[in-house]
Structure 1
Amino acid sequence: MKQADAQVLPFSVAPKNICLLRLSALGDICHTLPIVRTIQKTWPETRITWIIGKLEYQLVCDIADIEFIVFDKKEGLIAYKKLKQLMRGRHFDALLHMQMSIRASIASLLIPTKIRLGFDRERAKDMQWLFTNHKIAAKQKQHVIDSFFGFSEALGIEEHHLEWNIPIPVEARQFAEKTLAKDQKVLIISPCSSMSYRNWSAKGYAAVADYATQVHNMQVVLCGGPSAIEKEYGEKINVLCDSTPLNLIGHTSIKQLLAILSQADVIIAPDSGPAHLGTAVGTPVIGLYACTNPDRARPYLSSDLVVNKYPDALADKYGETPGKVEWGTRVRDRGTMERISTDDVIAKLDLWLNSCQTTSQT
């Protein structure tokens, strides 16, 4: 698209309305929210329309002052036809094209606007640069949240408000209150990622669950979605445990899961949606990383609790350090997560427990 067709960024005054295109996944929806909150706080009169995936909509559907348009990718061409119909007669001052996928880029063509803001050429994948006429500033080696703030910066907003404020319904809070122990610290284990190569072993999770229960008298709760692999993980962990974790895998709605995470004391998870949901509700997260770079995708507020075997995995596969490979490089080899030992995870749990004791003594 020709730059001459576009208006000028940054805006000198608050725009009347903007459209944000980020369909998935749950973790990246969490990464997007601070940018949305920053725009809302800086330009309270600007109307925001967010085109979002069906599952992801369940997480944020009750956020005030945002118009959500659900794009259900399972509907195929019908989803595009619905979006085209909804866009008829409308115009936006800008589109924030925050998803790098061909599906999202095709959808972006249906959004009426002169300003189509996307990632810089170096970071834009799946040919996203062909669908935008403005680019965020090129920056290297950023966490996903920091890279997303490039969109609000390009609009002319310098402030970064690290806020999520996802509403949790009363019913979901009550569910969590009835489910979780009141006289014990609560450890949530969310064992699975959407990508199976990022999953640690059921044996490892079971050993940590037993340690937390037997040594620290913690309540251990297993959480996750309804997929077959997640249910299988939960069953395996329970079989391998000497203790008896409460298995909620497949038995919570997204809002109930959010409530559980918000009322827990600490979470253990691989690079996954629940890890970033935990960050969004302010719960410390022990992140398990070997396949992906935690400097790019760790739980944003829990850097000290990350178990990081990514450098070891890179050295073994490529003979390189994180600083020498392309940012975002993954190691998908089977067994990569087995570089993480039970002792590694227990050490982080003990570190967190010690910090709790130090805080309570001050």
Structure 2
Amino acid sequence: MTDRAALRHLCLLRTSAIGDVTHVVPLVHRLRAHFPEASLTWIVGKLEQRLVGDLPGVEFVVFDKARGWAGMRAVRKALAARRFDALLHMQVALRSNLLSTAVHADRRIGYDRERSRDLHGWFVHERIPARRGEHVLDAIGSFAEPLGVPRGPVHWDIPVPDEARDWAREQIPITAPTLVVSPSSSHALRNWRAERYAAVIDHAAARGLRVLLTGGPSASERAMADAILAAARTRPVDLTGRDTLKRALALFARADMVLTPDSGPMHMANAVGTPVIGLHAASNPARSGPYSDRRWCVDRYDDAARHFLHKPARDLRWGTKIERPGVMDLIGVSDVIERMEALMKHLGIGR
């Protein structure tokens, strides 16, 4: 058991992506509860800081990856005079491994050998326990174990400002059951077809659900939204490009359900307790699906493994992604409607 008094300055390194940063939040709460006197510094991405940067009791050092080496130098300058008792190095990409050299720490804790890559082992001195079959959130949570922090309840409590709550209330002002559709992932090959989203949206509208379409301001997300709107017979409320990360969090909290592929919004919705109809073929929902409740996910990961890799999912290395053209076509409209209907029955909504 690590002496609590011996750990006064802790540094976390996890810069991206939105979903993975969301997974770090329960670890932050556990560390703050176990080491109440310790300072906690988190090196985080510029975009991701907009979601978690107001967590209480945490100092954030922002890494702007768009600036390349200049972004790394800025982090190095910010930490030049600092020394930490421990670094929790929770990202294995080469850029993050190089970024970790900006942190001067007595202990450098990283991933086990099976989950390491890009020379990760060169940048750490200790490793988390090697476990196969863990959800990403549990793997991140295990970084507390070398510090003597036991596993405990998982909770998020990401602050949501009043402005975001007010905006979400304007978008969902009534008690009619609401489905939020967030159709785009940052990985294009995880995206479902626009016309299939449109068919599900039409079904939801016919069953009495108010449907909101959301997404970021990028050209690809605007194009996806436009394709869905063109294919749908009904007219969902189009909020694409109008929200912020905090507004999206508030919106998901007011919704009855969220439909999305494996994406940051999936994990944001889960963090505020809203059931998620997750679309999984390119990725394994047991590893990267909504942490709290995966009953409503459509899981075609094993079908994808057999079709594209010619072996069952159980024979793949844990964490294997099957991001191949056409993989999401393994998910049919009827598959999603069946899960939606089951969730509606569970919630007691819809006509």
- Verify: 1:246 aligned to 2:223, yes or no: no
Q: 1:186 maps to which residue?
A: 178
Alpha-carbon distance, 1:160 to partner: 2.1
Contact 1:149 1:160 in 2 (8 A): no
Q: 1:72 maps to which residue?
A: 64
Which amino acid is the alignment partner of residue 295 of structure 1?
A
Q: Give the structure-2-normalised TM-score.
A: 0.97
Match of 1:122 among 114, 136, 150: 114
Contact 2:89 2:110 in 1 (8 A): yes
1:39 and 1:131 map into 2 onto residues whose CA distance is: 22
Q: Give the structure-1-normalised TM-score.
A: 0.94
User: How many percent of aligned residue pairs carry the same amino acid?
Assistant: 38
Q: 2:162 maps to which residue?
A: 170
Q: 1:293 maps to which residue?
A: 284
1:290 and 1:81 map into 2 onto residues whose CA distance is: 39
Match of 2:330 among 310, 327, 339: 339
Matches of residues 346-357 of structure 1 in structure 2 within 5 Å? 346-357=337-348
Alpha-carbon distance, 1:357 to partner: 2.2
Q: 2:152 maps to which residue?
A: 160
1:80 and 1:228 map into 2 onto residues whose CA distance is: 28
Matches of residues 66-215 of structure 1 in structure 2 within 5 Å? 66-214=58-206
1:156 and 1:183 map into 2 onto residues whose CA distance is: 46
Which stretches of structure 1, 4 residues or more, deviate above 2 A after TM superposition? Answer: none
- Verify: 1:318 aligned to 2:309, yes or no: yes
1:317 and 1:22 map into 2 onto residues whose CA distance is: 31
Match of 1:38 among 13, 16, 30: 30
Q: 1:309 maps to which residue?
A: 300
Q: 2:14 maps to which residue?
A: 22
2:288 and 2:76 map into 1 onto residues whose CA distance is: 33
Contact 1:37 1:161 in 2 (8 A): no
Q: 1:11 maps to which residue?
A: 2
Match of 2:213 among 199, 218, 222: 222
Question: Which is further off, 118-127 or 264-273?
Answer: 118-127
SS of 2:12's equivalent in the other structure is strand
Alpha-carbon distance, 1:329 to partner: 1.1
Contact 2:200 2:337 in 1 (8 A): yes
Q: 1:4 maps to which residue?
A: none
Contact 1:221 1:245 in 2 (8 A): yes
Q: 1:279 maps to which residue?
A: 270
Alpha-carbon distance, 1:206 to partner: 0.5
1:313 and 1:152 map into 2 onto residues whose CA distance is: 34
Alpha-carbon distance, 1:13 to partner: 2.2
Which amino acid is the alignment partner of residue 144 of structure 1?
V
Question: Which consecutive residues of structure 1, in runs of 5 or more, have no partner in the other structure?
Answer: 1-9
Q: 2:318 maps to which residue?
A: 327
Contact 2:279 2:331 in 1 (8 A): yes
2:82 and 2:234 map into 1 onto residues whose CA distance is: 58
Q: CA RMSD in A?
A: 1.2
Alpha-carbon distance, 1:106 to partner: 0.9
SS of 1:94's equivalent in the other structure is strand
Residues 303-354 of structure 1: per-residue CA shift (max 9 Å, x gap) = 1111000100101122211111111111122111011011110111111111
Residues 15-60 of structure 1: per-residue CA shift (max 9 Å, x gap) = 1110000000000001111111111122222211000000000001
Match of 1:63 among 42, 49, 55: 55
Contact 1:185 1:264 in 2 (8 A): yes
Contact 1:203 1:237 in 2 (8 A): yes
Which amino acid is the alignment partner of residue 252 of structure 1?
D
Contact 1:286 1:302 in 2 (8 A): no
Q: 1:7 maps to which residue?
A: none
Q: 2:39 maps to which residue?
A: 47
2:264 and 2:310 map into 1 onto residues whose CA distance is: 30
Contact 2:193 2:329 in 1 (8 A): yes
Q: 1:259 maps to which residue?
A: 250
How many residues of Structure 1 are paired with residues of Structure 2 in the alignment?
348
Contact 2:112 2:129 in 1 (8 A): yes
SS of 2:105's equivalent in the other structure is coil
Question: Which is further off, 297-306 or 76-85?
Answer: 76-85
Alpha-carbon distance, 1:181 to partner: 4.0
Contact 1:223 1:248 in 2 (8 A): yes
1:190 and 1:110 map into 2 onto residues whose CA distance is: 36
SS of 1:137's equivalent in the other structure is coil
SS of 1:303's equivalent in the other structure is coil
Alpha-carbon distance, 1:191 to partner: 0.3
1:272 and 1:284 map into 2 onto residues whose CA distance is: 14
Q: 1:236 maps to which residue?
A: 227
Question: Which consecutive residues of structure 2, in runs of 5 or more, have no partner in the other structure?
Answer: none
Which amino acid is the alignment partner of residue 253 of structure 2?
S
